Amino acid sequence: MSFSRRSAALLAATALLLAGCGGGQDEADPGSTATTIEWWHIQNIKPMQPVWEQLAREFEAKNPNVKIKITALENEAFKAKLTTVTQSGKAPDIFQTWGGGVMEQQVQADLIKDLTADISSWSGTLSPAALAAYQSGGKTYGVPYDIGMVGFWYNKPLFAKAGIKAPPVTWTEFIDDVKKLKAAGTTPIALAGKAKWPGHYYWTYLAMRIAGLDALKKAAVDKSFEQPDFIAAGQKVKELADLEPFQKGFLGADYDTPSGQAATMGNGKAAMELMGQWSPNVQRDTSKDLGADLGFFPFPSVEGGKGAATEALGGGGGFSVGADAPPQAVDFLKFISTPENQRRTVETGVVQPVVKGVEGAVKDQHAKLITENLAAATGFQLYLDQAYPPAVGQQVNDSVAELIAGTKTPEQVVQAITATAKTE
């Protein structure tokens, strides 16, 4: 779900000062008895934005005394705006969540509702794996609408031009393929260096492959990342960066702008990008649809590593409910979580099913690749900038960006992450 644009974030934060949030009496008509539900989500482009809009209007038609006010924001602008408003002790009635460390902080601050009892009559229809990201201490604080994973999207003709017959399975093969692509005059990888979060996928996956999932969980508890396996992950990132595999000007590139990472990939100017399930749609919306020329392969294994190649990095999307939200907010989440309505979102090709029995709705050729890989996954790690407290996640993003840029060493990366973790 993202994902990031500092100027947009600043504009969003400024705009927030001019507007409040939270449900209640219709603000447009103080004498109205209608209940207004504030719904913030990040599906601000086609194909999902119109689907969410339509579902909101249908819910209003079924519930004439309810009005849903939608705020659709780009990922990073959403995060900035939400941070600003929650610092005032408020939260929207319904808003995007990825679970993890940010959600935990919202729970501790009493900003969101415990939904355990409210959704007990229908939570059994949801995938346990998808729901788990929004559970803490045996309680549920969010309702999923999507789940997905990060992997390499690649341009098949560009691979063929470089003489690569099959996607790499090991890190050694991956590095060899990067060299082959460069030799063929092709930019191997598109990267949004300015956005930072896309770069953290490389270090995270290498930490997973070398140290294993348990090591990442233990480091979060111990607040210490200064161990050889995590340093080795950084060394592998440096090995890749030293090959200069990214597009010209990548350090100033955003993700979803006309000259950003997704467009570079979609326009055929790079052979690969490491990105989530939304990648094909963002490529299409910012440049061109590669169609059948676009393939997918999971992050390679690292020889001698403790992690398995079938362990996936990813996350999904869900919605939390503000502590002061009216009960109709939960009713709306139930409405969009019915098999019929989940099927409508899945059919866009953007959303992976979280409602049991809806798997057959996955028709998009690229979405099916994610569905198949998730079905084979033997372990799952939430994005580190979501799994960890926000300050720690941001430090991971910042430090890995500096590592890729050549201004931090692998040792300095783990030192910086540890120092931040110890302050939390």
pLDDT given for residue 30 in this prediction: 54
Task: Residue 163: count other Cβ atoms within 10 Å of its Cβ.
Answer: 11
Are residue 260 and residue 328 in the same domain, yes or no? Answer: no
CB-side neighbour CA atoms (13 Å) of 173 = 14
Side chain identity, residue 211: A
Are residue 85 and residue 165 in the same domain, yes or no? Answer: no
pLDDT given for residue 7 in this prediction: 33
pLDDT given for residue 127 in this prediction: 87
pLDDT given for residue 9 in this prediction: 32
Are residue 183 and residue 265 in the same domain, yes or no? Answer: yes
Are residue 305 and residue 169 in the same domain, yes or no? Answer: yes
Give pLDDT tens digits for 406-418.
Answer: 999 999 999 999 9
Q: How many helices (H) and strands (E) does the chain have?
A: 18, 12
pLDDT given for residue 21 in this prediction: 55
pLDDT given for residue 418 in this prediction: 98
pLDDT given for residue 27 in this prediction: 46
Are residue 17 and residue 31 in the same domain, yes or no? Answer: yes
Task: Residue 135: count other Cβ atoms within 10 Å of its Cβ.
Answer: 16
Quick one: pLDDT band at residue 123, thresholds 50, 70, 90? Answer: very high
Task: State what percent of residues in the chain have pLDDT above 90.
Answer: 79
Write phi, then psi, for 211 (nearest 5 degrees): -95, -30
- Please return the burial class of 53, using the count of CB atoms within 10 Å of its CB with bins 0-12, 13-18 and 19+: middle
What CATH number is associated with residue 18? 3.40.190.10
How confident is the prediction for the chain on average, in pLDDT? 91
Mean pLDDT of 158-181: 98
Range of the domain at 351: 6-149+314-383
Number of domains in the chain: 2
Quick one: pLDDT band at residue 262, thresholds 50, 70, 90? Answer: very high
* For residue 31, pLDDT beyond 70: no
- Give the Cα-Cα-Cα angle 180, 186, 187 (nearest 5 degrees): 105
Beta-strand relationship, 294-297 and 311-321: unpaired
Are residue 137 and residue 243 in the same domain, yes or no? Answer: no
Q: First vs last Cα of the chain: how many Å apart?
A: 25
Are residue 199 and residue 346 in the same domain, yes or no? Answer: no
pLDDT higher at 149 or 30: 149
Are residue 391 and residue 374 in the same domain, yes or no? Answer: no
Are residue 264 and residue 367 in the same domain, yes or no? Answer: no
Mean pLDDT of 164-174: 98
Are residue 302 and residue 179 in the same domain, yes or no? Answer: yes
Are residue 106 and residue 249 in the same domain, yes or no? Answer: no
Q: What does each C-alpha distance from 362 to 352, 354, 371 come to in angstroms? A: 7, 12, 8
Give pLDDT tens digits for 196-252.
Answer: 999 999 999 999 999 999 999 899 999 999 999 999 999 999 999 999 999 999 999
* For residue 394, pLDDT beyond 80: yes
Are residue 181 and residue 293 in the same domain, yes or no? Answer: yes
| Rounded distance between C-alpha atoms, residue 358 and residue 365, angstroms | 16
pLDDT higher at 274 or 22: 274
* For residue 139, pLDDT beyond 60: yes
Instruction: Answer whether residue 396 is part of any domain.
Output: yes
